Amino acid sequence: MWPLSESLFNRQDIFSEAVREFPSADVKFISWLDQQFVSTPQSNTPEEAGVRTAVLGSLWVIGVTILFSFPLGVGAAIYLEEYANAGGRINRIIQTNINNLAGVPSIIYGMLGLAIFVRVLETITSGTLFGVVDDPTTANGRTILSAGLTLGLLILPIIIINAQEAIKAVPHSLRQAAFGLGATRWQTVWNHVLPSALPGILTGTILAVSRAIGETAPLVVIGASTFITFDPEGPFSKFTVLPIQIYQWTSRPQGEFHNIAAAAIIVLLILLLSLNATAVILRNRFTQRI
């Protein structure tokens, strides 16, 4: 066995040494992270296993999470900053609860999602109510929709807090100028406050989503699959995600599964870095427009 640094940078020396020690063997390097690994579904054989199903599941879950949490979080921030009485007792209670919810462990949200989305709202989250499932007798609420709504609740307080800070940063003189020209409060918020606060709102939202994409505990609680070979086709499909796939592979005794788990971790890191880079690009672009 050679250290990782040598296997990455001294491949030719390792190859020559292996050929000298094992002259009759077929020596070759195995790359676990390649295009085939990203484009193939799961398999019981590590050499044939891939993360396509997990990547698609992660993208579906994050898509539902954003669609649920972004408009609700920004809307709540607008109300709390622009319409609610800042010194009122009810507003202070709401603000305190939002700050507390931002620090609640993620597994608590998983229990909440299991109780509400998986069980109470099972006919909705399973798709039975809409007639989109083939066999209603076997359908249940352990779907992408339940996972997305659960993660949406998880990051909702974070989005609200970040959006509030972005709205607070807008100069008060901008509002007064709009009011002086006869604009209503909503016209002022929509045409002046939100465009100015948008870079901060988008940055905070994407960073919150970056946290959600790495969560495992709430998805395990609501029943995400650890082994699934078919791609998700919609919000009512069964699913798995990259963190759960990594956990499943690391729990296997075979060393080859540990190798592909390391490759899957790199894929997850690339996905997270891409989201963070997107946040920086969007912030700079909208800042230049303003």
pLDDT > 70? residue 39: yes
**Average pLDDT rounded to a whole number, residues 222-227:** 81
Closest to 62 measured CA to CA, from 226, 231, 235, 224: 235
Query: What is the spatial distance between Cα 257 and Cα 269, in angstroms, rounded to a whole number?
Result: 18
What is the per-residue pLDDT across 269-283, written as a single tens digit (0 to 9) for each? 998 888 888 878 877
The verdict on 95 and 69 lying in the same domain is yes
User: In terms of domains, do 22 and 134 share one?
Assistant: no
CA separation for the pair 49, 257 (Å, rounded): 9
Residues 160-202 pLDDT 10s? 999 999 999 999 999 999 999 888 999 999 999 999 999 889 8
DSSP 47: G
Indicate if 10 and 108 belong to the same structural domain: no
- Reference 61, options 274, 204, 203, 212; nearest CA is 212
Whether residue 20 sits in one domain with residue 88: no
Q: What is the percentage of the chain residues whose pLDDT exceeds 90?
A: 43
Residue 145 sits in the same domain as residue 188: yes
Residue 62 and residue 12 share a domain: no
Residues 1 and 128 in one domain: no
Say if residue 6 is in the same domain as residue 92: no
C-alpha pair distances (Å), 95 with each of 40, 81, 206, 231, 236? 46, 11, 22, 41, 34
Task: Specify the pLDDT at position 62.
Answer: 93
Query: Which range among 8-22, 52-66, 101-115, 207-221 shows the weakest confidence by mean pLDDT?
Result: 8-22
In one letter, which amino acid is 122? E
Per-residue pLDDT at 234 exceeds 80: yes
Give the global pTM: 0.86
Q: In terms of domains, do 21 and 141 share one?
A: no
DSSP state of 240: -
Residue 4 pLDDT > 70: no
DSSP 126: T
Domain count, the chain: 2
Do residues 158 and 249 share a domain? yes
Per-residue pLDDT, 225 = 78
Structural domain span for residue 4: 1-30
Instruction: Mark whether 13 and 78 lie in a shared domain.
Output: no
Same domain, yes or no: 121 and 12: no
Q: Residue 178 sits in a domain of what CATH number? A: 1.10.3720.10
DSSP-assigned letter for residue 28: -
Give pLDDT, residue 7: 64
